[in-house]
Amino acid sequence: MSVGLQPMDVGAMPLEDHAPACGADALERVQAAASAVRGMRVLHLSAAGGEGGIPDMLGSLLPLAAAVGVEVEWRVLFGGPELREVSAGLQAGLQGAESAIGDEAWRGYLDGCAAAASALDGGGGYDAVVLHDPAALGLVQSLERGQTVWRCHLDAARPDPPAWDRVAPLVEACGTVVFPDRSFVPEGPTAERTQEIAPGIDPLAPRNVALTPQLAGSLLRRLGLDLDRPLCSQLMRLDRWKDPHTALEAFALVRQELPELQLVIACELEAGGEGWPAVKEISDYAAGQEGLHLLTSYSGNLGNQELGALNQVSRLAVRLSLREGFGLASSEALWRGTPVVGGREGGTPLQVRDGIDGYLVEGAGQTAERIAELVRDPGLAVEMGRAGRERVRERFLITRVLEDELRLLASLG
């Protein structure tokens, strides 16, 4: 298997630009944490097409780390269809689905990663090397254990046994393991040496920056939405783990009482990704349902600003999954002051406090009940959204991730 490592431009983002969002106290904590690691050389390794917005997170996090004095490099593992198939199999397998990686493909992956990592000269020129998610794990074969960190951004608490059997020796070769939450860690030796760093959103990213009401309204009208009627939205990277069907069932129930309600299903898709069959199914269903709108990133008019406008204008955000990693879609909605009606899987219960920032639900009936409650009571929706925004400010901004990352690096010394 032919793979390589592509250097990425990191640059630097002034930390002070985040002061209006996170506050002066948060910046002081970051600077205090940075004092112990200034001048440290750190290499981050991720895989092309990383799961769960990892490129977006690193694109926000690493320039801030550079700004506070860490010497940061970032390289991306790339390859052909064979690498993408192994990467997809690992991501699915660690989350509990059948991984279906053949022995020959696995040997090719390990050999390709070893060849690519040879250019790193064992990682000896770095104080720390951070591997992101399973596809980059193969690179650990050529790195020194003590300096190597594996950051798993997935919920691997119940992995497919064959998939975990393949990666377990690679995980064991890492000196430190980091998960978003301890509930995501599989049982066994890995749990004993795991640290916890939850992800966070970048408040300065285009999809998270507040829009004027005029601009938000203009963007949504272009998408065919009626702003004189209430709307709720489910925004998601559509894959096998998302649950748009419960949202559709709940919408049908709510519409019996609130026929004016609109539901927007907004899907971010990858070319050739596993979400396309579901899009066809939802599209066929939506064709006969007044008030139901399906939007995709391939429609040509659904970008970061439009996604941000949906979060900002929606009366509430629906976040339902069959299985989920941490998933920052809830925090993105809460940051806009929009309450969340979400499931109890993955990171949603860690971000949404039931009855405070929104509601945690099970099944279409509960979902419909809570949607109707927030549509009927705009004051309650505003109150919950305000509480949710403060929750995100305190716990789920990129500056808190940076602080945790700096303390992790200091602990490696």
In the three-class reduction of DSSP (H, G, I as helix; E, B as strand; rest coil), residue 290 is classed as coil
Return the residue matching tokens 């002034």. Answer: 14
Q: Is residue 77 part of a domain?
A: yes
The arithmetic mean of pLDDT across residues 312-330, rounded, is: 89
Q: Residue 270's pLDDT is what?
A: 63
Q: Residue 142's pLDDT is what?
A: 85
Looking at the fold, whether 125 and 222 belong to one and the same domain comes out as no
Q: Residue 284's pLDDT is what?
A: 77
Looking at the fold, whether 360 and 291 belong to one and the same domain comes out as yes
Q: Is residue 11 part of a domain?
A: yes
Count CB neighbours of 196 within 10 A: 14
Q: Residue 114's pLDDT is what?
A: 92
Looking at the fold, whether 186 and 254 belong to one and the same domain comes out as no
Count CB neighbours of 323 within 10 A: 19
Looking at the fold, whether 64 and 44 belong to one and the same domain comes out as yes
Closest CA to 359 of 236, 349, 402: 349
Looking at the fold, whether 84 and 161 belong to one and the same domain comes out as yes
Looking at the fold, whether 257 and 338 belong to one and the same domain comes out as yes
Assign 241 a pLDDT band (cuts: 50, 70, 90).
low
Looking at the fold, whether 194 and 288 belong to one and the same domain comes out as no
Q: Is the distance from CB of 263 to CB of 293 less than 8 angstroms?
A: yes
Q: Is the distance from CB of 308 to CB of 211 less than 8 angstroms?
A: yes
- Report how far apart the first and last C-alpha atoms of the chain are (Å, whole number): 35
% of the chain beyond a pLDDT of 70: 94
Number of domains in the chain: 2
Q: Which strands make up the sheet holding 194-196, listed edge to edge?
A: 3-8, 71-79, 41-47, 128-132, 148-151, 176-179, 194-196
pLDDT in tens, 52-108: 588 999 999 999 999 999 999 999 999 998 998 999 899 999 999 888 899 999 999
| CA dist., res. 293 & res. 229, Å (int) | 13
Q: Is residue 205 part of a domain?
A: no
DSSP element (H, E) containing 412 = helix 398-412
Q: Is residue 207 part of a domain?
A: no
23-37, 135-149, 254-268: which is most confident: 23-37
Q: Residue 123's pLDDT is what?
A: 64
Q: Residue 327's pLDDT is what?
A: 86
Q: Is the distance from CB of 252 to CB of 261 less than 8 angstroms?
A: no
Sign of the CA dihedral with 96 first, then 100, 103, and 106 last: negative
The arithmetic mean of pLDDT across residues 392-396, rounded, is: 98
Looking at the fold, whether 125 and 270 belong to one and the same domain comes out as no
**Weakest-pLDDT range from 161-165, 218-222, 278-282:** 278-282
Looking at the fold, whether 169 and 154 belong to one and the same domain comes out as yes
Q: Residue 275's pLDDT is what?
A: 60
Q: Is the pLDDT of residue 247 over 60?
A: yes
Q: What global pTM score does this model have?
A: 0.92
Residue 320: both structure tokens together: 């339902």
Q: Is the distance from CB of 339 to CB of 353 less than 8 angstroms?
A: no
Q: Is residue 7 part of a domain?
A: yes
Q: Is residue 168 part of a domain?
A: yes
> Mean pLDDT across the chain, nearest whole number?
91
The domain of 323 spans 213-395
Looking at the fold, whether 312 and 357 belong to one and the same domain comes out as yes
| CA dist., res. 32 & res. 138, Å (int) | 34
Looking at the fold, whether 390 and 403 belong to one and the same domain comes out as no
Q: Is residue 230 part of a domain?
A: yes
Q: Is the distance from CB of 176 to CB of 195 less than 8 angstroms?
A: yes
| CA dist., res. 208 & res. 335, Å (int) | 7
Write the CATH number for 281. Answer: 3.40.50.2000
Looking at the fold, whether 407 and 365 belong to one and the same domain comes out as no
The arithmetic mean of pLDDT across residues 267-290, rounded, is: 70
Q: Residue 190's pLDDT is what?
A: 81
Q: Residue 281's pLDDT is what?
A: 74
| CA dist., res. 341 & res. 319, Å (int) | 6
pLDDT in tens, 218-239: 999 999 999 999 999 998 876 6
Q: Residue 271's pLDDT is what?
A: 57
DSSP secondary structure string, 104-168?
HHHHHHHHHHHHHHGGGGGGTT-SEEEEETGGGGGGGGGS-GGGEEEE--S--SS--HHHHHHHH
Q: Is the pLDDT of residue 203 over 70?
A: yes
% of the chain beyond a pLDDT of 90: 73
DSSP secondary structure string, 340-386?
EEE-SSTTHHHH--BTTTEEE--HHHHHHHHHHHHHH-HHHHHHHHH
Q: Residue 189's pLDDT is what?
A: 79
Count CB neighbours of 213 within 10 A: 12
Q: Is residue 334 part of a domain?
A: yes
Count CB neighbours of 127 within 10 A: 17
DSSP secondary structure string, 181-247?
SGGGSPSSHHHHTEEE----B-TTSTTTS---HHHHHHHHHHTT--TTS-EEEEEEE-STTB-HHHH
